[in-house]
Structure 1
Amino acid sequence: MKQKIINALTKDIGLKILAIIFSFFLWLVVVNIDDPKQTRTFTSVVTVTNADVLTQAGKLYEIKDGVNTVSFRVTAKRSIIEKLSPSDFSAIADMNNLENAERIPVTIAAKSYANYVTISSRQNYLYVILKDLTTERFVISAQTSGTLEPELAVEEVTCSPTVITVTGPQEEVEKIASVVATANITGVSSNFTENVIPKFYDKDGETVDTSNFNLSVSTVSVSVAFVNTKAVDIVVKTSGTLSPELTLGSIKTDPSSVMIIGEASALNDVSNITIPDTVINLSNLTGSFTTSVDISSYLPDGVQLSEGTSSKVAIYVTMAGETASTVDVPAENIELKNVPRGLAAALDSKTVTVNVFGSEQALASLKADSVKGYIDCTALGEGEGQNAVLQFENVDGVTIQNTSVTVSVIADPNATEEDSATESDETKED
């Protein structure tokens, strides 16, 4: 039996070996027919490496036209290529290989099936634009936005840090005019701190794109402190007795009330701001007039004027039947008298705003061109911005209040030698 098996295996051995070889080749043909090679195009995003070599050289790069992808052809058997996707390949642009300051060769490599795929040998490039790099420091302005709760005022707004460092393309960094960190106070009634993203603005108030900037901080801590507020009237006290020929009409202030801030306990004790009787002495009045006072010294302890509130208050004292107004008198209507010889004097403004008093009808018909005034320059010497009193002659039915102005006195370029000699002699006699 054994011998029969051996004889069967060795009989016609050459034909049997030939059959095996033929079968093998036949298998190869079948395999290649069923799993042929194919070529497909893939597109991958390019990764830039060693970009710091540009930073060290004071440069930045920008991808030209925003195209940061490359396309390439890959050949592999169908069974392999059908499994591949763009994520199976890497596309690397090494900044060390920058050519002509405009393009970087891109190296394509397979991350999967590396031994079974063939990548086309065509060279791909990433095109870039180089820009000058600069670093600037900007002070951060802390602000608030939103609606403030009643009877509250913002006492202080601070931020940390107060300075931000910006690194980026020079032409873009130079656009920055201000950096603002804004906290929203809507619905907030107690002190708070929040982190906000600072915003960058150009000189026109437009937002500057920061996507190409390297910022020292991405957020800023803004702290807001509140204080209690209260609106109070301004009261004017007077002293003395008005002349029998005059009848007092009214005493008013502008503004009539102010906003004060402080602790609630201190505000509760304040009903008004009183201007003392030493300011207005009725015995000295010859008619309607106005004056200005600083009320900051009249504020009670523990309170102060809210931010943005002026401490200057105008007081209008008018006689019965009169009202107050203002008129802008042109400089050419003002005469400068007794100017020292050899000198020339001129007002420092083209118009002077003066207070006028009278009936509403008289003030309505008053024309600025009809108001004439003069300045006595006897006591003025050579120099700019000297204080002087501008005096007026009253118009029928209208009282014009004298006021203080500034006058500049210079050497008269039209003065003759005789004028100068006379002035010199007068000086010696003095």
Structure 2
Amino acid sequence: MKRTNKLWHNLGLKIMALVFSVLLWMVAVNINDPVERKVFRDVKVETTNTNVLTDENKLYKVLDDTDTVTVTVRASRSVLETINVSDITASADFSELSFTNTVPIRLSVNRYVDKQIESISGSIDSMKLEVEDKKEKQLVIEIVQSGEPAEGYIVGKITTTDGNAMKISGPESVVDTVKKAIVEADVSDLTDNINITEKITLLDAEGKEVTDSSISRSVNTAKVSITILATKEVPVSLSTMGEPASGYVATGEINCAPAVVTIAGRSSVIKDVGGLVIPPEELDITGATADVTKLIDVRGYLPEGVSLSNTGGEEFNGKIAVTVKIEPLVDITRTVDSSRIQVLNVPEGYSVTLTPDSSVTMKLRGLQGNLDQVNTDTLTCTVDVAEWMSDNGLSELSEGSAEAEVDVSLPSGVILTAPVRAALTIEKIAEVTPEE
């Protein structure tokens, strides 16, 4: 009798038993180690091959926060329990940049092969970029003063000591908005020189600060040197040279605006400056027939280490306006009654008198204002007989008539153009004896 192979005996039942065993195992596994999901938030997208843009002198900016992604991993519980956010890789290869400026985001779990991860997905599938040409711009660093020094002091100068220029670079659209670079120098209540380091601020056309982080700077701060000077008010001293034309005279009045100027310098220097002396060569009145006016730049006559400050709270350019008063001489004639003339120092035994009810004539010259001060009723007029005798070589008087010069006391600025003479009557006084 033929024997059958036992392996094939009840083959159908054996296959059913195997399938049932596998199903039973799968059920057991799903019960003990089920497939679940795990979410990993704020996974940073790593970029590669960015030189695709930078080599073409272009810059990019990530839009809509697409440089971070939320990743969902589906795997068995035992696998998920060992995965941390550091095991998740999200990458964007710029060599895959599309014409719409998007780069696909590739996701992976570093520690596991794909078959151990059922699925991995992200909240976004591509990184969105804004691509622009890179631009550079050179800017002069401007210094903006704020505050005021202490009273009696001014700012001499403010300078940057480490260069006055900087370079910025970044996306063309952003760089073009930057119009100036400034550094603020606060001088409030300062009385001495200081050196400070201050932040450089970028401003747009409206004076608003540009803070875009895509801008790169060659420097971020500037070293600033502030010079503070003491101030002092001093008068301007003026004098003239030469003489006006014949018949004219300088009145002595010199008008100057401003007459007082404010100087600035180190305290030890300006404390000895009492005034600003302008040499007479600046005011030559030779041959003048009218007022002489001139603008004089006083900066050339400042002592070393001294400069000019604003005068009277107004900006001062260093030029003063000077006027020297020139007026014509006026000739007038006045008479004085003989009764106003005193006869002095008459020798003993003589009588010297002026003719009663007579007068003498005076020819006067001077400025009209001075001539107006002449009052013949108050003038002091004298004849000194002893002096007259000496001038004429006389040792004694002789009776009769004579003529002598009258001394007249005139106001300042008035002169006689001709001698004033008076007629004298000289008489000898008869001696009286005791018997008489």
TM-score w.r.t. structure 1 length? 0.56
1:250-283 per-residue CA deviation (whole Å, 9 max, x = no partner) reads: 83413x5444333332211112223344545789
Contact 1:291 1:316 in 2 (8 A): yes
Cα contact 2:61–2:131 (8 A) shared by 1: yes
Correspondence for 2:135: 134
Distance 1:177 1:73 in 2: 47
| Structure 1 counterpart of 2:359 | none
Paired position in structure 1 for 2:321:
314
**Separation of aligned partners in 2, 1:286 and 1:84:** 108
Q: TM-score of the superposition, structure 2-length normalised?
A: 0.56
1:240-259 alignment, distance < 5 Å: 251-254=255-258, 256-259=259-262
Equivalent residues in 2 for 1:10-409, closer than 5 Å: 29-30=27-28, 32-43=30-41, 44-78=43-77, 80-81=79-80, 86-111=85-110, 116-120=116-120, 124-150=125-151, 151-186=153-188, 189-220=191-222, 222-239=223-240, 251-254=255-258, 256-279=259-282, 291-306=294-309, 309-315=316-322
Rounded to whole Å, the distance in 1 between the matches of 2:84 and 2:147 is 51
> 1:103 offset after TM fit, Å?
0.6
Q: CA deviation at 1:191?
A: 4.0
Instruction: Please say if residues 234 and 263 of structure 2, whose CA atoms lie closer than 8 Å, have aligned partners that are also in contact.
Output: no
**Residues 6-45 of structure 1, C-alpha deviations (whole Å, 9 max, x = no match):** xxxxxxxxxxxxxxxx999978745532442112444423
Q: For residue 294 of structure 1, what is the amino acid of its counterpart?
A: D
1:134 positional shift: 1.7
Q: 1:349-408 deviations in whole A, cap 9, x for unaligned?
A: xxxxxxxxxxxxxxxxxxxxxxxxxxxxxxxxxxxxxxxxxxxxxxxxxxxxxxxxxxxx
- Judge conservation of contact 1:231–1:257 (CA < 8 Å) in 2: no
CA distance in 2, matches of 1:211, 1:70: 22
Structure 1 residues 249 and 295 mapped into 2: Cα distance closer, same or farther (>3 Å)? Answer: closer
Query: C-alpha offsets along residues 106-140 of structure 1, whole Å, 9 cap, x if unaligned?
Result: 12223566775444367811011211112222232
SS at match of 2:53: helix
Residue 92 of structure 1 and its aligned partner are, at CA, apart by 1.6
1:171-213 deviation line (CA, Å, top 9, x unaligned): 3223333222334344655444333332222344332334211
Distance 1:67 1:160, change over 3 A: same
Distance 1:71 1:304, change over 3 A: same
Q: What amino acid is the match of 1:36?
A: P
Aligned length: 297
Separation of aligned partners in 2, 1:261 and 1:114: 82
Contact 1:178 1:201 in 2 (8 A): yes
Aligned residue in 2 for 1:389: none
Report the Cα distance in structure 1 between the residues aligned to 2:186 and 2:111, rounded to whole angstroms: 52
Q: Return the alpha-carbon distance in structure 2 between the equivalents of residues 163 and 208 of structure 1.
A: 18
- Determine if contact 2:147/2:188 at 8 Å carries over to the other structure: yes
Structure 2 unaligned residues grouped into runs of 5+: 1-19, 327-436
Aligned residue type for 2:165: V
Q: Is contact 2:231–2:263 with CA below 8 Å preserved after alignment?
A: yes
Contact 2:143 2:158 (C-alpha < 8 Å) held by counterparts = no
1:154 touches 1:226 (CA, 8 Å); kept in 2? yes
Give the superposition deviation at 1:75: 0.6
CA distance in 1, matches of 2:256, 2:206: 42
Unpaired runs of 5+ residues, structure 1, are 1-21, 320-430
Do 1:104 and 1:127's aligned partners in 2 also have CA atoms closer than 8 Å? Answer: yes
CA root-mean-square deviation: 4.0
Equivalent AA in structure 1 for residue 320 of structure 2: V
Higher helix share: 1
Letter in 1 for 2:216: N
The CA deviation string for residues 326-358 of structure 1, in whole angstroms up to 9 with x for no partner, is xxxxxxxxxxxxxxxxxxxxxxxxxxxxxxxxx
The secondary structure found in structure 2 opposite 1:232 is: strand
Contact 1:153 1:306 in 2 (8 A): no
